[in-house]
Amino acid sequence: MIASVREKLRAVLTLGETPHQLGVAFGVGVFIALSPLIGLHIVLAAASAWAFRLNPVALFVGVLVNNPWTMVPLYAACLWLGTAIWPTDAVWSDIAWQGLTLVDFLSQFRPYLMPFVVGTTVAGAACGLLGYVVMKAVVTAYRRQRGRG
């Protein structure tokens, strides 16, 4: 897995676009990765790459921030942030976890919907900006080291 991440990063670093363009694409990808629209990240990434003429490789590398290994901790942190910004009276221990169906979950999750949306949006914007800054700096440093200015 680490080797494939290195390959994807190397592919992004050697693309022909400017560090700014690659940073923007990566940052948008990170924002999409933290989107509350679970299951639509790839569609959103493809639509964004097309609509805004963003580099699809850099954008999809940003989307990979959210994957099966990181999804639960990322969304838990986003929900925590969201409840700090948009408080709710609901308590997790009140959720009846035994025999929980999708319909039950959705009705019991309702008090957390706005905090979740707020948390993912705020975290996505902050992490997207951070992703832009980091990717631009990494691409710039890599190209300087390689003599591509």
Residue 90: DSSP 8-state = -
Tell whether pTM > 0.75: yes
Provide the residue range defining the domain that includes 52.
2-146
Total domains in the chain come to 1
Which residue in this structure is represented by tokens 């900006």? 129
- Please write the tens of the pLDDT for every residue from 85-108: 999 887 766 677 787 888 888 888
Q: How does pLDDT run along the chain (149 residues), one tens digit per residue? A: 667 767 777 776 777 889 999 999 999 999 999 999 988 999 999 999 999 999 999 999 999 999 999 999 999 999 999 999 999 887 766 677 787 888 888 888 888 999 999 999 999 999 999 999 999 999 999 888 887 55
Chain mean pLDDT for the chain: 89
Torsion-angle region of 27 (φ positive above 0: left; ψ -120 to 50: alpha; else: beta): alpha
**Alpha-carbon gap, residue 106 to 101, rounded angstroms:** 9
